[in-house]
Amino acid sequence: MSLRRILHTPAVLLSLLTLAPTAPSAAEPPQTNVPYVFVAVDSYNVKQTNQFEVTGLLLGEGTPRTILFTASTTSAVDVSQHLSRCDRMALMAMNKPGAYRFEVVKGIYSYEFSCRLTRTAAIPAP
């Protein structure tokens, strides 16, 4: 084996280890009144009738995170209808990565949360 090949092998291994995906972290509960703005949505998982989990890249962060949102089902509010709207927004964000920002905010009460989808500014072609 040549010296050039020997020197090249560790560099290749190091680059592969650096680029290897990390294991997904456990879902974390959201903080109250903190907007979670996802610039890329990797997955959207409906856990139960009143829970959904979003995995993706948050604005200003470099590592994907998983946040588990829970809404109360005992209130008079129709949570399922509200959650289905969030479902559609998350799917749009997943369909066109980087084109939208998907934001979820948990309110003070367990039935309060909001979802918002905003289009990001178009990047001019070179």
Q: CATH number of the domain that 47 lies in?
A: 2.40.50
Quick check: is 1 in a domain?
A: no
Quick check: is 4 in a domain?
A: no
Euclidean distance between the first and the last CA atom of the chain, given in angstroms as a whole number: 44
The rounded radius of gyration (Å) of the Cα atoms in the chain is: 19
Question: Number of folded domains in the chain?
Answer: 1
Quick check: is 125 in a domain?
A: no
Burial of residue 37, with CB atoms counted within 10 A of its CB: 0-12 exposed, 13-18 middle, 19 or more buried:
middle
Classified as helix, coil or strand, 116 is: strand
Classified as helix, coil or strand, 99 is: coil
Q: What is the C-alpha to C-alpha distance for residues 106 and 29, in angstroms, rounded to an integer?
A: 10
Quick check: is 80 in a domain?
A: yes
Quick check: is 108 in a domain?
A: yes
Reported as a single tens digit per residue, the pLDDT across 75-119 is 566 777 778 888 999 999 999 988 999 999 988 876 677 889 999
With contact defined as beta carbons under 8 Å apart, do 105 and 34 qualify?
Answer: yes
Q: Enter the pTM of the model.
A: 0.69
With contact defined as beta carbons under 8 Å apart, do 10 and 84 qualify?
Answer: no
Quick check: is 35 in a domain?
A: yes
Between 41 and 2, the more confident residue is 41
**Domain limits at 45?**
22-119
Quick check: is 2 in a domain?
A: no
Quick check: is 15 in a domain?
A: no
The band of 40, judged by pLDDT with boundaries at 50, 70 and 90, is very high
